[in-house]
Amino acid sequence: MGKTRGYSVAISIAVSPDGKLGLFENGLKQNVLFLYHLFSASPNCESVYLVQESMPPGPFEQPLFGVDPDHIVDLTEVSNKIDYLIALGVAISHTAMAALKERGCGLVLYKGGNGGILTMEATASVPPKTSGEFYVDHRLYDQIWVTSQHMPTYRSWCETVYRCPVISIPQIWAPALSSIVPVFRQEFGFAPPKKPWRIGIMDPNNTMMKTSHMPMLVAAACFDKKPSIIEHVYVTNTLSFIEDDHFQSFAKSLKISAAKKLTIEPRFLGYQFLANHTDAVITHHWEIDLNYLYYEVLFGKYPLIHNSESLRDYGYYYDSFNPESGAEALILAHRTHANSLEEYDARNAKLFKRLDPTNPDNIAFHENLMFKTGRSKGAKGEMVLAR
């Protein structure tokens, strides 16, 4: 039997009143973009919408990186059309969710971040922050999707709160946003530089899972061992700490800082910073070992000095919380990277193929999960899927 009607799916996204999607603001919004492209590439999918309640009328900020502006809509415009809703980029009200569930729409909550740890951090802050999770919709979802790096610390939390299947999903990524790079001053991508390297530290410093402390210690340990390979270390996302007593004391304790080889910097667009200021990147995580930043660095063929177990075969791995191990990885990268670019690029290409949202394996994986919500009959009648 041929295809009579494909499914329609909506993905929630936060759009500001002036029409800005803010795709460079954080990884969560980029996750929405990649998921949009995944479903758009499926022969089974009739329509993909990006939705929020009270969506501004547009026009929307350009570029939209392949998103059809006519499919960025208020949820009310498509609430009777969609077969599935994936809550990802912004919360949807309990009232709207309950109405969708009542009419047979499959409901998926996509956890692109670790709300459990972020909630604990918010609670432990003095005074407590109001950024912890809220659970007004905790009995409505059919499935919870959690990206694999968060499963060890977040799975049981979600299972207990939501009481529905909590499923590990692969991270998806594509270099779609790199198309903006030609507007920058320098060409994006590693080029064998003069002997000393400019080192970028780009961790966001917005959670204890991703701070600049360990990368700074790695750079300091490398400087103590082999200062000749470091031209300068730029620690981004730290300008707000310029008056912080701890951060000043920490930075000043390092010889590399006393040598005026390390500076604190504001937030930059990742691709822009890589193109204009960086020969290698040092990063460190705690229980969050996949990150779009890693892929951007690898895509540009830059040396990635990292502690991600999931990416141990890529870049230059070092042991977690071990600056000496990190220093050795940086020294190795400096000695060998320029002469092994072809091998480095070929290995990374296999990773990017696996991550590609349009990879048929990724499409099938997400669709098969979604279909298990048991709601393959939407308001418009039976779906017959292409095979």
- pLDDT band for position 184 (50/70/90)? low
pLDDT in tens, 114-171: 998 999 999 998 888 887 888 888 899 999 999 999 999 999 999 999 999 999 999 9
The rounded Cα 322 to chain-centroid distance in angstroms is 25
More confident residue, 57 or 313: 313
Q: In this structure, what is the dihedral angle of CA atoms 379, 382, 386, 387, given to the nearest 10 degrees?
A: 130
The pLDDT value given to residue 125: 87
The pLDDT value given to residue 302: 97
Q: Which tokens is 349 given?
A: 């290409």
Q: What are phi and psi of 259, to 5 degrees?
A: -80, 5
Domains and CATH numbers, the chain: 7-174+356-372 (3.40.50), 183-352 (3.40.50.2000)
Mean pLDDT of 326-350: 97
Cβ(197)–Cβ(334) under 8 Å?
Answer: yes
The pLDDT value given to residue 165: 96
The pLDDT value given to residue 153: 94
| Alpha-helical runs (H) found in the chain | 27-40, 75-78, 94-102, 115-124, 151-162, 213-225, 245-252, 255-258, 270-277, 292-299, 323-336, 341-355, 360-371
pTM: 0.92
Residue 262 burial by CB count (10 A; 0-12/13-18/19+): exposed, middle or buried?
Answer: buried
